[in-house]
Structure 1
Amino acid sequence: MVRALIETFPHAVEVHDGPDRKRRWRLKEMLVARMRLRGAEELEALEPGITALEAQGDQREANALSSLRDGLLAALPPTAARAAEADTDAMLEAHGVAARPGPFVQIDPGMAEAVAHALKGPWLLRFSYSGRAREVEPYGILIGARHYLVAKQTGDDAVLRHFRLDRMIDVEATQTPFARDPKFRLAAHAARAFGSYQAEEEHGEVVLWFSEQAADRAADWRFHPTQSSQHFADGRLEVRFTASGWLEMAWHLLSWGDSVEVVSPDGLRMLLADPQRNGDVLL
């Protein structure tokens, strides 16, 4: 019984051998037990994140947040924990998060663990991609409709490349360290794209005009971190930002129908001109 307690809570049990040759065990007060938990409020903040990660197929991160949630529940008195769980379930239903149908690409948990281990090292990462063996310096993960690994191939020209996680095979984190570029910032790199896909040849200014009827609704959207906007005298709204990824832009802009006009770039405007003919937009 005591051995099971020590194995389960190794940091919470102190063992003392007294001068009378008797062994005594004492349960230490854990700092987490003195946290001023408000119960449902903390859990309400965690649950949507767990559900969203599971919906994206990111089971590794979902499991980590679930473990944190369970630790918070364990620190609450039983009656408060039961009430918190009930309140959280109701809040999830109210926010429409409990069941969100839709397709997503599932990520193998073992592969996700190997990538996470390499990123924390940082260690070189090996895998097979498009039929070729790769060895890369991993820099981060871009999460979107598809998940991409941002990395530099060893022996390459130091160009950052993107690899779709669902297409990476036989992923292995090595024990070979590498020196990360200290100037690299994942947020700045991600801002070069509209979504998670980047194409250097597409990078440039995007100008969108929204109709008078859609202007107020469009003004509530943040299309990109670099965006600026202005209202015209006739009620239309102009939105400008700098990014690449025309295909993901087209996926989103199709939902606005005739309410949006692409002023530039020409490539994006042509992609949306005939979505039935440009099948890539719909796939």
Structure 2
Amino acid sequence: MTFAKANDLLRLAQLAASRRLGISLEEISQEFGISHRTAQRMTSALEDNFANVVVVEDDDRRRRWRIQSPIPERLQPRQENTIEALEIAARAARDENRLRHARALEDLRDSLITRLSPRDALRSEADAEAVLSALGQVARPGPKVAMRPEVTDVLIEALRGPFKMRIVYGDTDAETRTVEPHGLLLGLRSYLVARQADRGENLRHFRLDRIHSAECLDESFPIQSGFSLNDHAAQAFGAYQDPAQYGEVVWRFLPEAAPRAAEFQFHPNQSAEYRDDGSLIVRFKAAGWLEMAWHLYQWGDKVEVLEPAGLRALVEGHARPDFPALP
């Protein structure tokens, strides 16, 4: 067995031990980027090399491989990649004022380090620090709206329930509102997606920076039937939702800008095709014309809005020919 295959087998053993229901052939294929047949060979090697492997069937009658007792710590591979990932995630959480998540990630990182031998812990920390010191965060132009940690902590607690929340929104002396949180959209400006029952069944967006106080109530509620935060977010180009603007969007990038535009994902559900003249047509369905206009301005006169007419009218006359570079 080669060293690479041995490492893969150890990693498979860790996955089989750490997942309560074990791991299936489909999950192995996806995790390691291999064929179904190669995944079968790996499970055979797992059974041949570990005595405590059990094979069970899940509710869908798929076979799953599980190791009944944890792998000895001495078989644990080096953890610098995991330590790096946890540290980066913790720093991102602190930047977004998600202090509860930051503390949990830091506790997990520290717990992982304490399980290593002193020599491996020192080496893993040193290697991770070398990478982290070389990773810089690119400053984004424009102001970044700060979120209040005391508000985000309450939001996360409410989402776990899910529980209703009482918030003061807009003006500091505004009347309280009772809302049913469905999710958070994090970005340059972050939003709470929630239903306010006294204003109808439709989901509304509340800017987190305008929530002045929040209280988690001891009252649960049913999530809107069929709700998916990813599907909900995909209805907008950015974060702003407007059902009246939702529809097909078609942009044409000129041949000199087409290669650069092809590197962008403007929307999760976009399609793109080159025309015979070398231009690039990008299509997707979304709302939020103003956020689209903000982005399109960066392309100067190298992009043309074909649809919708309202967006075309919004950007008309604002395409500059003198930008020295494309986004």
Q: Shorter chain as normaliser: what TM range?
A: 0.7 to 0.9
Q: Displacement, 1:35?
A: 7.2
Aligned CA distance change for structure 1 residues 54 and 247 (closer, same or farther; 3 Å): farther
Report the counterpart of residue 223 of structure 1 in structure 2: 266
| SS of alignment partner, residue 124 of structure 2 | helix
Residue number in structure 2 paired with 1:161:
204
2:231 counterpart (177, 182, 188): 188
**1:1-283 alignment runs, 5 A limit:** 33=73, 36-97=76-137, 100=139, 103-130=143-170, 131-274=174-317
Distance of aligned partners of 1:72 and 1:151 in 2 relative to their CA distance in 1, 3 Å threshold: same
Distance 2:74 2:149 in 1: 34
* Alpha-carbon contact 1:203-1:243 (below 8 Å) kept: yes
Taking the aligned partners of 1:109 and 1:32, their CA distance within structure 2 comes to 39
Q: Which runs of 4+ in 1 moved over 4 A?
A: 30-35, 99-102
Percent identity, please: 44
When the two structures are aligned, how many residues end up with a matched partner?
247
Q: 8 Å contact 1:56–1:105 — kept in the other structure? A: no
Deviates more, 1:213-222 or 1:170-179: 213-222
Q: 1:145, 1:196 within 8 Å by CA — same for their partners in 2?
A: no
The superposition leaves residues 37-79 of structure 1 with CA deviations (integer Å, 9 ceiling, x where unpaired) of: 4221112323333333333443333333222222222222233
Q: Which amino acid aligns with 1:164?
A: R
Q: CA–CA distance in 2 between the matches of 1:219 and 1:121?
A: 41
Q: Could you give the per-residue CA deviations for residues 110-146 of structure 1, whole angstroms, max 9, x where no partner exists?
A: 1111111111111110011122321011111111211
> Is there any run of 5+ residues in structure 1 with no aligned partner, and where?
1-29, 277-283
Q: CA, structure 1 residues 229+264, in 2 after alignment: closer, same or farther (shift >3 Å)? A: same
The 2-side partners of 1:31 and 1:125 are apart by 43
Write the letter of the residue equivalent to 2:270: Q
C-alpha separation between the residues in 2 aligned to 1:267 and 1:86?
55
Query: SS of 1:257's equivalent?
Result: coil
**What letter corresponds to residue 116 of structure 2 in structure 1?**
L
Q: Deviations over 1:187-231 (max 9, x none)?
A: 111111112221112111111111112212211211111101110
- The whole-number CA distance in structure 1 between the counterparts of 2:229 and 2:309 is 29
Change (3 A) 1:273 1:84: farther
Distance in 1, matches of 2:261 and 2:189, equals 25
Name the stretch that deviates more: 182-191 or 263-272.
Answer: 263-272
Q: CA deviation at 1:148?
A: 0.6
More relative contact order, 1 or 2 (CA 8 Å, 6+ apart): 1
1:271 and 1:92 mapped to 2: Cα distance? Answer: 43
Write the distance in 2 (CA, Å) between the matches of 1:194 and 1:153: 24
Of stretches 43-52 and 161-170 in structure 1, the one that deviates more from structure 2 is: 43-52
The alignment's C-alpha RMSD in Å is 2.5
